[in-house]
Amino acid sequence: MHAAAHTIGTTACFFMTKRLYKFSPAGGSDPAINPDFLPQLQSICPQNGDVNVRLPMDRGSERTFDKQILDNIRNGFAVLESDARLYDDETTRMVVDSYFGILTPIFGPSFESDFVDSIVKMGQIGVKTGPKGEIRRVCTAFN
């Protein structure tokens, strides 16, 4: 689950502009943003403001590796749109919710263990090495 990686780190206002001010199809802001959170985001990233200003991706625990990001997603406090969309889909919503059941601490999934497992799996995805691979100088373009 890629959102879990957003438990630590920041993003730039550049990535928030569309979500805060020009959300499709009707414009305005993304209705998935908690109404109590929207003014805070807009004050950090004002319309036509500095797009390089940084804000934490995980409200409340931006420097701690934990499942707070998932609770933020559940409650409309997701900073990035891609994270917010996880709660729109029934399947991914069930995964997010599975970390918050009453019996989860004893019998349920472990966020930390599941995250480690997913990183190991990603590391096994057809990595190209030697002459078949390349280290990109610009991430969005082939050398």
The three-state secondary structure class of 55 is: strand
- Residue pair 51/17 in contact (Cβ under 8 Å)? The answer is yes
Q: Quickly count helices (H) and strands (E) in the chain.
A: 7, 2
- Residue pair 5/88 in contact (Cβ under 8 Å)? The answer is no
6 is in an annotated binding site: yes
Q: How far is CA 12 from the centre of its chain?
A: 13
2 is in an annotated binding site: no
66 is in an annotated binding site: yes
88 is in an annotated binding site: no
41: its two tokens: 């985001």
CA distance 103 to 124: 32
66: its two tokens: 């934990």
Which amino acids are annotated as binding site for heme b, given as ranges?
Answer: 6
Annotated binding site for Ca(2+): 7, 58, 66
Give the residue ranges of the annotated binding site: 6-7, 58, 66
